[in-house]
Every structure is written in structure tokens, then in C-alpha cells.
Amino acid sequence: MIGRDVGEARIDPAKGLFAPSRGTGGRLKRSFDILFSLALILLALPVFLIVPLMILVTDRAPVLFRHERVGRDGRPFACLKFRTMRREADEILARHLAECPAAMREWAEARKLRADPRILGAVGRFLRRTSLDELPQVFNVLRGDMSVVGPRPVVRDELQRYGVHAPLYLSVRPGLTGPWQVGGRNDTSYEQRVSMDADYVRSWSFVEDIRIVLRTAMMMLSGRGAY
């Protein structure tokens, strides 16, 4: 430790980085991850039953969407979500970007579209606005791929946008929620997101994780910044 209380970040001597996912603080964080995820699965059991039915009625199977993300130490993992896009989403996106230069610029900047033609109608918009589409990631947390709180999971191509902050991202597990989700979500620029993630890792504390979890619950109710 570096003169800080248990539950705060320490220096990882192997990498010279603050490492909240290792040491005594890491064990506390991991214990919280497991207990919180198990409790959330029990509390959200009706959601796990109802949402798949909504998706099946709207656009048939599959219910889940799996996409490779980069985890701690650069290990890839299959990040789970409820599917909120149409089954032919890749073709729809390619056609839309080819026909709309403004959408192409928006996609290049943020990898997201405010008016996304791939979204699965009202069901998809509701799940994304409330962030319920990310609920299956509790199983990623239980498996150790993710943490309850951490940087937002990224694909490998996005790591270059983290620049000098990439080692900070790779030193921890990505989170089910994190500073980006409570700091404005899609209303922030990608550079702001990277900065928030880096600041979170550098100044990590267990108390801050609890604050982020509580603020996430309020953000889900408001739907602010989600699309």
C-alpha cells in the first residue's frame, strides 16, 4: 500500500500503475462484485424473464448479443447484452453510413448514432434508455471478466484512442457501470470519456465505487444521456 487505507488503489510494482483490481483493495472490490451481482440477479429476475419475451415478439431470436471486448491485461471476453438492434444491423449500418455523410462523421467520432436505424423499435429504445440492455453483464462480473464499477468496455480498435491512458484501462476490469455512465454518458465526447476513465483508475476508492453505483440507479431512472 502507499500510505492509504484499505479499499483504495495501490501501486502495482509490475506495471508502475495504480491497480484497484489487485491487492487488499482488489479483494474487497471483487467480494463486492460477487455479492452485488448475485443480489441484482435475484432482484431483477422478472426483468430476465420479461425482456427476452419482448425481444422475441418484436424480432425473434437471438435474445442476447455477444461482442468481443478487451478486459484486464488485454484479455478478450464476450460481453453480454440484451439485443436492442435488428438482426440485419450490420447491413443497415453500412447502407446508412454510405448514404449519409453526417452519420459517417458522427460514427467516426463516437462509434454511436443519435438516430440509429438499427435500433429494434420501441423495445430497443426503451432498453437502451434505461440501460437494461446491459443487465446480462452481471454474468460477466460473476465470471471475473468485468467489475461492477470500472471503465466502459471497449473493442480492441478503440484502445488506440486511449493513447497514453491505455495502460490504465488495461490495469483493471471494465465495469458494468462507471464514471462515464454517471458523468453524462452519450452527452460527453470520447476524449472526456477517456479522461474520466483514467481519473477513476488513478484515484480509485471503494467509497467512490459505492457513490457511482448509487448515482447509476438515479441515471437509469432519468435516462439522461442515453441513446
Confidence (pLDDT) at 207: 94
From 67, 39, 43, 34, select the one nearest 142 (Cα to Cα): 34
Give the pLDDT of residue 200.
95
- Rounded CA separation 55/53 (Å): 5
How far apart (Å, rounded) are the C-alpha atoms in residues 57 and 61?
9
How high is the pLDDT of residue 184? Answer: 73
In this predicted model, what pLDDT tens digit does every residue of 20-42 receive, in sequence order?
A: 556 788 899 999 999 999 999 99
- DSSP lists the bridge partners of residue 212 as none
Res 110: pLDDT: 77
Q: Nine-digit cell at 62? A: 437471438
Length of the chain in terms of residues written:
227
**Domain boundary assignment for the chain:** 12-84+119-222
Q: What is the pTM of this model?
A: 0.84
pLDDT at 224: 62
Q: Is 172 helix (H, G, I), strand (E, B) or coil?
A: coil
Identify the segments of the chain with pLDDT beneath 70: 1-22, 223-227
In contact, 168 and 150? CB cutoff 8 Å? no
